[in-house]
Structure formats: C-alpha cells, structure tokens
Structure 1
C-alpha cells in the first residue's frame, strides 16, 4: 500500500532530477531500470523500487520528516482540544449553589458551536471556485497546513536530520510539491480534515469526561431559562425533536413535559416556577433529571459525528493516496528512462540509426510507457529547418510514435495557432499525446506559453503534452543551459501533464 511519505519522496526526487544534468539522470535511471524491468510490476511499485535503488541516503528523508511533523501537529491539536473541552465543560456546568446550571446555555455552547463547525465543514467541501468567494472559509485548514510545515522545518533542523542548506532545499521542493494542487488537492484536503478531527474528538472527549465527573462527584441542579417568550409545551417539542435519534434506545434520556415544567427557572425571582398550583419549590431529584439528556446529546451530536467523520476522512485520505496519478509528465519521463534503452546519436553522423539496430528490452514495448498508443499529434513551432522524413524518423526513434497529423503553430499568421488548436480539439481520439517540436536555442517566450495554456483549455487536463527540444543545426543533444531555460520557464505553467524532452539523446 502506497504511503504519503513514499509519495512525497518520489515527488521531491523528481524535482531534484528535473534540475540535474539530464544525461546523467538518464544513464543513472537506465542502469537502475535494467535491474527492475521485466518484473511485471505496476508503476507505483516500480517507482518505489527505483527510489530504493538510488544511492542517496537523503532520498527517504523528506517524507519521513513531513509525516513526523503531521504526527506532532496531531498531538498538539489533541491536547489543545482536550484542554478546551475540559475548560468549556467546567464553565457551562459551573454551579455555586446560588443558581442552577442553565440547560439552554449548555446546549448552545457545547453543541451549537459544533453545529456551526459542521456547517463550515460543508462549506469547505464546495468546489474551489465557489469556496474562494467565501470569506474565512478554509483559513483554519490553511493554518494547520502551515503549522505542519513549520514544525517539519524546525524538527528536521533541531534533531540534526539535515543541515541548513539541505533544509532550505527540502522545503523549496516541498513547496513545489504543494503547488501541484491539481494533482494532490484531494489528498491534502482529507489530510487536513483528518488532522482537525483530532482536535474535535479531543474536545468532545474532554467535555464528556468533565460532565460525567461533575455529575457523579458533585451535586448539580439543572434548569432552563431564556429571555424568549417560550411556552413549556413548545420547549418540550423542541427537546423531543432534538432527542429523536435516541428516543427509542434510551427513553430515559428524553426529558418529559413534567421535567420541563418543574425546572423552568426565572433569574429575577431566583426560584423555579411550577405551573401546577402555587408551589415555589421543585423536587430536588427532578432538578438533576436533565443529566441523561445532556450526556447523550453531547455523545450523539458531538463525539459520535466526529469519530465517524475522522474515520471517513482517514478512508478518503488513504483512498486518494492510492489513486495518486502516476501518468503525469514527470512520472512518464521516469518510466521511459527505466524501461527503454539509452539511444546514442553521434553528431558526426547527423542522422538517426534505425530502431532495428538498437538493443531493446524485449519485455517492454513503446506502447507500454507512451500514452495514446503508437501515434501522436505533431505540432511544429515556428519555421523548423527539417524535412518531414527526418521529422518522422526522429519522432519514431525517440518515442516509437508515428505522427498521425502534423500541424504548424508560432508563425507570423496569428490565426494559425487558433486554427491548430481547433483542429486538435476536433480529433476523435483525445488520448493521443501532443508533441510540440521547438528549436532548443529559442527562448520560450509569451507566445509559446499562451499557446500551451490556450491548448490545455481545449483538451483534457490529463492529456500528455511533450515539448520536444531539437537542435536543427548540429542535430545533437541540446545544451544544458537551453534545457534549464525551457524547464524553468514552462514550470511556471504548473501543468503536471506537460514535460520537456530532448529529441536527440547523446552520451555525455
């Protein structure tokens, strides 16, 4: 079963690799892949095995540090919730003998406030666009998230798990992982909900404990009063409605009309009011008759929903972790490096050897690691000085694809971009990857970014877009500076299904 720590470790390592020398990364992963391929394992297990084979003792630290910080946050929330519950329970049940405990106040503080938090929880379940228009919604979850990162940062430094330089690098990478909201929004949401339920469960546990303690070990007198002009019968109907969930199982926890009549209290007179006759004193035993209702209310409306919500949040959290997408651009590139041979192309040949001359892994086919099968949509950016035969040979050599359609974009005619996007949208198979070929030495300007953002709006969010860097002059592997420039500029688009790839791979 995939764990959160493992997912974080994978993402952080991929971020590090995106900033490293692509040639070294490719050869390192291919060497590891030769030990792993042919085992018929799913992508998550293959990637975890890859992570274990990395000769990097720090590769497993990020996930452990972050999950340890979450555990600390959970403890902090639990103890704060327990203290708050004990304090709130003591406050609403405070009895000095001068006036009885007000049942209405008990319900308003211990249960009314929780009903309000349930309402806030429902608001947090709204779509992101709707939720962003509501003030203060999600602020507490954001605070808990930032607190966990702060604790992780300080705990890693205090316990000597990494130096200041490593700490800074780790948290920069962690911030970039958090920016991939499109992928891990649900994981983070249910993680934060699960954390906050630790506070709520502890609050209700503390309140329930102090209530039982004071009822058993002290002499409490209960009453109900309100400024509202509320008849006894009306209040009884409200209480009965409130007690509906348990009226059949625990009938003694449903206040009777007689109890309500005998425990109505008027603060100005300082006495109980009994409607039958002119008596001014109520039975002492009756005055304490509210406690079964109060304890059951706190358990049913307070503790039980929190336990159920915590269990549901835990299930949804683990379910979303198991469903984490491993077909994104970074993971697809890793899978490609692990399962396909390194292609060596010498500049003096200025041509690409046929696929048949390569030593391939007979247990892995191109179609296994490429989305959309064996074809792609090829888009030429600008005026590429390369023949169509060379284009097809290059694409086939690099990815094992045959271009189904070839379009142009980035020309002087501004309408060509829009026309190309609409043509791609009209293609029946929406799973075919899109390969955009660009000159590696060109700077990725606003036109390229605008085209990619506009293209994404017209296709599915999971459709692969590959930016193929090619040097049409030397037909060699692109320079490190060009690679870094394209990586850095296109990462600003925060598109998890867009990646940069070299069309020609040379040895270092």
Structure 2
C-alpha cells in the first residue's frame, strides 16, 4: 500500500478523533486558539488543531515510527511470499526421481491461490473487506515493529479514513494481489530453472473417476494457454499419459509447456491484472480522501473552532492527563515590544517605569485577562515579550503552562523575576525552584529587567 500518498494531516486528525472518542477530549485551548487565528473553514481548523496537538504529544513522531514498522512488515511479508512461491514449485515438481502427476502439480501450484482469489471475489461482490486477512496481518505486524505505544490507533484510523472514501477494499486488495504476484513469480522462476536443468516425466492418474473426464479437463485447461502459443497435448498423448509415463522428448516438452501455460494463465495473469485494477482504483480514489466534518465527534469541536460568537470566561473541565508545557517562539509579526506581569500583589508597583516604545499589557490575574491577551497575541505576535513574575509565589503547573504559551506567541521572550517589595523577604529555595522550572522551559530569566533589550532589541 503506497502510504506516502496519504496526507499526514488527515491521518493525524482521524487518529486524534478515535483517541478522544475513547479517552475524552484532550486539553486543547492553545490548539483551538491557533486554529481560530489561522482562519479557514471547519475542515482547515480541524487539521491545524490536529497538527498542533500531534506535535505537542509526539503523535507525529509515532506516525513516522508506524510508517517504518509498516515498511519493515511489508518487506518481511514479501520475503515470506517469495520463499513460499519457491517452495510451492519445488514441492510440485520434486527432484525428478518420480513422474510428475499433472493434477497434483497444478493443485500444489494453484490450489491456495485460487481459493484466496475466490474469497477476494466474493468479498468484493458482497462488500466485505477484501484482502482483510493479509491486511490485518500486515497492520498487526507493523504495529509490533513500530514499538511505539502512541501508534496503537494509527492503523484503525487509517482503515477508517480509507473506508470512508471507499479505498479500503482497493488498498488491501493491492497488498494481497501484490504479495501473491511475488509468490507466483518466484514459483515461475523456480519452475523454469527446474524444467531447464532436470528431466521430468509427466502422467495423470485416477482410480474412481472416468478417464475420459480427466482427459477432457486437462484438454480444457490448456485451451486458453494454447491461444497464447503454449503447447496443447493431442488426444493420443493425453490417452498415453493417462496409462504410463511417455518418455519421448517431444512429449516431455509438450507437457512442460502445457504446465507453464496453465500456471501463467490461471495464476500469474489474474493476479497481475487485479493488482493493476486495484492500483488504478486506488489512485483515482485518492481525490475522495477527506475528513467527515459531519461526524458527531467533529461537530462537537465546531463551536470551539468556528464559534458563532466570541465568548469570554469559558471554564473547561480539567483534563484527565496533564502534559508538560514547553516554550518556543513565533515569528515576530511586528517590531513592537510588550511588557506583562503575572499575578502580582498590590505591594508590587506596576508598571515599574515608563519604557520607550513598549506596550504595557497589564497584570494577568484571572482567566479572562489571560484569554484576551492570548487571543490578541495569536493574531499579532510581538517581536519581544518581557514577562514579570513574583518569585515569592510557587511556580505551579498552570503558571508555567501560561508562560510557555505566551512564549510561543512572541518572537523572543524573557522572564523577569521581580525583587521582593520593601518589608518582604525572598525565599532562596523558592527562587531556585523558579529558576529550575524556567530552565526546563528554556526561557531566559534574570533578577533585573532587561530594559535596553526590551526597547531596542539588543543588550
């Protein structure tokens, strides 16, 4: 299956949908904010949200591991197919010490192939998942080889995405017919080598069934290959081979040509044509591959991603699993500088001084003020952002998450750990906790305000 032709954004969005349907909605306030800032319709915002959450939670890396595991699983299945095909040919002809029973040889070479081909045809006729056995084996083996717990839903999400576009049948069919084609090609190669290097005698035998029926069957099987130039045994050779091994060179070559022709026409040719058909339908159907934005799971996100009106002060339930915040930087949308404080008490003077060309965003002391500032920064990120924090407070997880989110909304960010106000003391242990937490976020910090950097962009 050509996985590279499947858009990663669609695959990740469908995987997140399945994950959230099972475990609940992820903490996605910043992801939704980024999606709203980017604009577009619901589909576009769903894809932006999915990409952001996948990068945050490592799902994009898990997808890379899954692709590697799937490629390795496909290589192993291909090697197994080649080995199985060679084994079928060796078992069908033997070592030349005994005559080759034509019907036993055909049964060995084409029996399992025809059974699975009939199963695929019935599955396609009645709408079942054709090639599901090999497909399920490939998915399970790929998941094991990926060795990444986060990739558990990537396989089911892929099948759901393909099934919605009507591509699952053709994708798994391409996998199934492709592997069978490899097996039959390996068998053909071994047949040619054996027939070229050993002398075989051919015979057909029956005890219970009429000899005339068997002779008619063998003659009928050779009719189509004869149209392609393969030898067709005449009635005298058919009758003689049913009674004993005919040892003449011409007889041996006739039966060898008949066997190869039947193998090509009823074995290789159907698999090759069906593989091409599946490949053609797959390529045509890729244009239909898309999200089902009318799915209830996606409609539940509509108001957050495409709100009918902007509302403030929405309180979301705490997520079942918290993630570790990380800082970063956004491309600066302007040359402006911004100064903001987080949860200061009344004894801390604010703003501490007037700075030339610096905008004061005030003090973030509640959810509404944080939400308004983040929405503002999502549309117009500043070039420089200085965040003032009171190190007498504990660096709790919510504050650190806010710092990381603010940092991702600005070109450059620094944190100013304010000195204690007159009459207050600063706990050195708590100051060390702040410094360690900011180092983990990879945020520059200092006990003195970098005013020159904030105003002019350099130190």
Residues 182 and 79 of structure 1, relative CA distance in 2, 3 Å threshold: closer
User: In structure 1, what is the Cα distance between the partners aligned to 2:5 and 2:250?
Assistant: 57
RMSD of aligned Cα (Å):
3.9
User: In structure 1, what is the Cα distance between the partners aligned to 2:270 and 2:43?
Assistant: 34
Residues 47 and 321 of structure 1, relative CA distance in 2, 3 Å threshold: farther
Residue 44 of structure 1: CA displacement?
A: 7.2
User: In structure 2, what is the Cα distance between the partners aligned to 1:55 and 1:284?
Assistant: 68
Q: Is 1:262–1:282's contact at 8 Å kept on the other side of the alignment?
A: no
User: In structure 2, what is the Cα distance between the partners aligned to 1:15 and 1:202?
Assistant: 35
Quote the residue 1:488 is aligned against. Answer: none
Quote the residue 2:236 is aligned against. Answer: 258
Quote the residue 1:106 is aligned against. Answer: 105
Quote the residue 2:190 is aligned against. Answer: 210
Quote the residue 1:239 is aligned against. Answer: 218
User: In structure 2, what is the Cα distance between the partners aligned to 1:103 and 1:179?
Assistant: 42
1:320-364 deviations in whole A, cap 9, x for unaligned?
4432342333556677766x5683335xxxxxxxxxxxxxxxxxx
Which is worse superposed, 52-61 or 100-109?
52-61
Residue 13 of structure 1: CA displacement?
A: 4.2
User: In structure 1, what is the Cα distance between the partners aligned to 2:44 and 2:315?
Assistant: 32
Instruction: Note if 1:92 corresponds to 2:92.
Output: yes
Q: Is 1:236–1:255's contact at 8 Å kept on the other side of the alignment?
A: no
Residue 93 of structure 1: CA displacement?
A: 0.7
Residues 53 and 25 of structure 1, relative CA distance in 2, 3 Å threshold: closer
SS of the residue corresponding to residue 227 of structure 2 reads coil
User: In structure 1, what is the Cα distance between the partners aligned to 2:111 and 2:124?
Assistant: 20
Residue 315 of structure 1: CA displacement?
A: 3.1
Pick one of 278, 302, 306 that aligns with 1:313.
278
Q: Is 1:85–1:205's contact at 8 Å kept on the other side of the alignment?
A: yes
Quote the residue 2:254 is aligned against. Answer: 289
User: In structure 1, what is the Cα distance between the partners aligned to 2:136 and 2:265?
Assistant: 29
Quote the residue 1:141 is aligned against. Answer: 132
User: In structure 2, what is the Cα distance between the partners aligned to 1:126 and 1:230?
Assistant: 35
Residues 289 and 246 of structure 1, relative CA distance in 2, 3 Å threshold: closer
1:296-332 deviations in whole A, cap 9, x for unaligned?
1111111111112222223334444432342333556
TM value normalised by structure 1: 0.52
Instruction: Note if 1:7 corresponds to 2:10.
Output: yes
SS of the residue corresponding to residue 253 of structure 1 reads coil
User: In structure 1, what is the Cα distance between the partners aligned to 2:256 and 2:28?
Assistant: 70
Please give the residue correspondences for 1:16-31 in structure 2 after superposition, counting only pairs within 5 Å: 19-31=25-37
Please give the residue correspondences for 1:144-163 in structure 2 after superposition, counting only pairs within 5 Å: 144-155=135-146, 157=147
Pick one of 154, 157, 173 that aligns with 1:177.
157
Residues 101 and 176 of structure 1, relative CA distance in 2, 3 Å threshold: closer
Return 5+ residue gaps in structure 2 as ranges: 321-367, 372-459
Q: Is 2:92–2:108's contact at 8 Å kept on the other side of the alignment?
A: yes
